Amino acid sequence: MATMLEVKNLGISFGGLRAVNAVDMEIEKGMLYGLIGPNGAGKTTIFNLLTGVYKPTDGIIKLDGEDITGKPTIEINKAGVARTFQNIRLFAGISVLDNVKAGLHNHYKYSTLAGICRTPSYRKVEKEMDERAMELLKVFELDKEADYLAANLPYGKQRKLEIARALATDPKILLLDEPAAGMNPNETQELMETIHFVRDNFDMTILLIEHDMKLVAGICEELTVLNFGEVLCQGKTADVLSNPQVITAYLGE
Amino acid sequence: MTGMKKKKLISNFITYGIVIIAFIIVQIMQSTGNLSSMMTGLLVPLCVYVVLAVSLNLVVGISGELSLGHAGFMCIGAFAGAFFSKCTQNTITVGGLRFFLALLIGAAFAALFGLLIGIPVLRLKGDYLAIVTLAFGEIIKNVINVFYVGVDSHGVHVSMKDQFSLGMEPDGMLILNGPQGITGTPKDASFLAGIILILVTLFVVLNLIDSRDGRAIKSIRDNRIAAESIGINITKYKLMAFTVSAALAGAAGSLYAHNLATLQAKKFDYNLSILALVFVVLGGIGNIRGSVIAAVVLTALPELLRDMAEYRMLIYAIVLIVMMIFNWAPKALEWRERYLGRFFRKSVKEGK
């Protein structure tokens, strides 16, 4: 199998604080990979490094063989990294459909003037965008709510919409930051199915941060456990979760 | 076409319709002699304020940035347009064409300054941006205030001291006379031209909002970090909104200038910027039709209340407060939802 994401010796310091240190990770194409660890272990910081929100102090990040270290967020997204956020970040004031269409921004184009003058190319491209966006919404069973304001969706659907929007950018790898946060067991179960579905149908590589151990054990094939910004343990999910070090880090002595 | 799109299209046509119907009503009133001379004199300024309010709403409502320097862009447009018309008064004799070009030049200059000012100031957010734009607005006004420009057979003379240091030949024409501004701009503006400018402004703004670029602008407003994460270029789209808005304000300024005998920079002070912001907030942030209505009502109100003499500013203020509360107080919104919601269910829920 080819490697989709390769991280070597990744590290960042904020002033004197070493938030992430010497992290290595290798994620194969099509894998469901989990990043876990106690609060403050540096998981979201790694996501922010992978998406260009922070520039790494040292280390290399390679996506599908291409070096994306230290590039701006927009370029990294264009290269094929899409993400969701721990605290949902939707475009609350526009419709559900428009949220997904915003995700399609760099794949369907017409000029500003064409948009203002409503030229045939505007109509054609908008129609294609509508169709593509509706396809994505159907996958997440959001097509009936397409005209709702994103802010008016229930919590679980907002999470789904965020994933749909990320997928609209046509990424190679999808980063999910605590997708199950704040969900009840039923919603979590449904989410697990959705994630599986995305992986299989979109041929996607998925890296997720999660605290819900049931979800992690249920869907992740491999794990990296972080503690105090460093890799504590890495490997197949079953092996990692039975590692005494990991249990100590999570539950204490 | 989805239901949402149809609704948007209908809503846009209602907005255009309101403007056209208002125009027809005024025309009828004018021809039957029912329009006071005070109101007749107010027609072009009304158009100016409507365009100004709509253009500011693009920045405040759609792009989500608070700009308090809009009078500055209007000022640039006004002086650029008036300057052009004065210079070409004798070469371009067709009033309509000259005025059309003057509007374009006003818009172009304002857009240029919008772009130049936007590049540094759009790095700021919220209150900080508001204060910096306020400062830029004042700077523009004060800079134009000290310029003296004249034209004679040797070309253009510029001075920042006084009109005598221009060193012009006796046959030269003084165009910009410092604080006295530009006098004798051809009176090319008309109510019809104003209405056309309003319609063009609405066309540009409403269609821009509802296009790919507008979606990008709104997504940045709603969540900058998320917009960046899906590959939207923040700087580009913020600048686009700011520049388009400045251009439209510049066109409004040019219209304004061609309705006045004397154009002075001091009229474009922060009071005007605040007034434009009041139109936008009162009409509803992001609600284009609301801006149009608010600008008309608040401009016409003091004149309509003229009979009440000393009480009119008091009534104006009270109307402003009551409208503001009715439109925006949470309790009032709740009340509206409950009692008027039956009739306007959809517009209350989905309209912004």
CB of B222 within 8 Å of a chain A CB? The answer is yes
Q: Is this complex's ipTM strictly greater than 0.85?
A: yes
**Is A219 within 8 Å of A192 (Cβ atoms)?**
yes
Provide the shortest C-alpha distance from residue A38 to chain B (in Å).
Answer: 25
- Predicted local confidence at residue B93, as pLDDT: 78
**Is B268 within 8 Å of B72 (Cβ atoms)?**
yes
The stretch B213-232 carries a mean pLDDT of 95
CA distance A106 to A170: 10
**Is A83 within 8 Å of A166 (Cβ atoms)?**
yes
Mean predicted lDDT score pLDDT of chain A: 92
What is the phi/psi pair of residue A5, to 5°? -125, 130
- To test the contact with chain B by mutation, choose from A44, A47, A50, A73 the residue with the greatest count of B C-beta atoms within 10 A, namely A73
B318 within some domain: no
Number of domains chain B contains: 1
B192 within some domain: yes
**Is A49 within 8 Å of A81 (Cβ atoms)?**
no
In the structure encoding, which two tokens stand for residue B204, read together? 């540009």
User: Burial level of B75, CB count in 10 A (0-12/13-18/19+)?
Assistant: buried
The stretch B268-279 carries a mean pLDDT of 90
| H or E, element range at A6 | strand A3-14
Provide the shortest C-alpha distance from residue B329 to chain A (in Å).
Answer: 19
Residues B187-203 have pLDDT tens digits of 888 999 999 999 999 99
Residue B201 belongs to domain spanning: 12-273
Residues B168-191 have pLDDT tens digits of 777 778 888 888 888 888 888 899
**Is A179 within 8 Å of A195 (Cβ atoms)?**
yes
Provide the shortest C-alpha distance from residue A141 to chain B (in Å).
Answer: 17
The stretch A149-173 carries a mean pLDDT of 93
- Predicted local confidence at residue B344, as pLDDT: 53
CA distance A7 to A59: 7
Q: Is the pTM of the predicted complex or chain greater than 0.95?
A: no
* Distance between first and last Cα of chain B: 22
**Is B280 within 8 Å of B291 (Cβ atoms)?**
yes
B155 within some domain: yes
Q: Taking CB atoms and an 8 Å cutoff, what residues of chain A touch B216?
A: 102, 105
Pick from B2, B218, B233: CB nearest A91: B218
CA distance B78 to B264: 10
DSSP string, B2-55: -HHHHHHHHHHHHHHHHHHHHHHHHHHHHHTT-S-HHHHHHHHHHHHHHHHHHH
Dihedral of CA atoms A39, A40, A46, A52 in degrees, nearest 10, equals 120
Quick one: closest CA in B to A149, which residue?
Answer: B350
User: Burial level of A3, CB count in 10 A (0-12/13-18/19+)?
Assistant: middle
Q: Which residues contact A154 (CB under 8 A, 6 or more apart)?
A: none
- Predicted local confidence at residue B352, as pLDDT: 38
Are A73 and B207 inside 8 Å of each other by CB?
A: no
Q: Give contacts of B 16-75 with A, CB under 8 A.
A: none
CA distance B96 to B108: 18
Pick from A73, A93, A117: CB nearest B229: A73
Domains of chain A plus CATH, in order, are 1-80+171-204+212-253 (3.40.50.300), 96-170 (no CATH)
Reported as a pLDDT band with limits 50, 70 and 90, residue A77 is very high
- Predicted local confidence at residue B33, as pLDDT: 84
Are B212 and A78 inside 8 Å of each other by CB?
A: no
Counting one residue from chain A and one from chain B, the pairs whose CB atoms sit within 8 A come to 107
Quick one: closest CA in B to A125, which residue?
Answer: B212
B323 within some domain: no
DSSP state of A86: S
**Is A214 within 8 Å of A188 (Cβ atoms)?**
yes
What is the dihedral sign for C-alpha B284, B290, B292, B297? Answer: negative
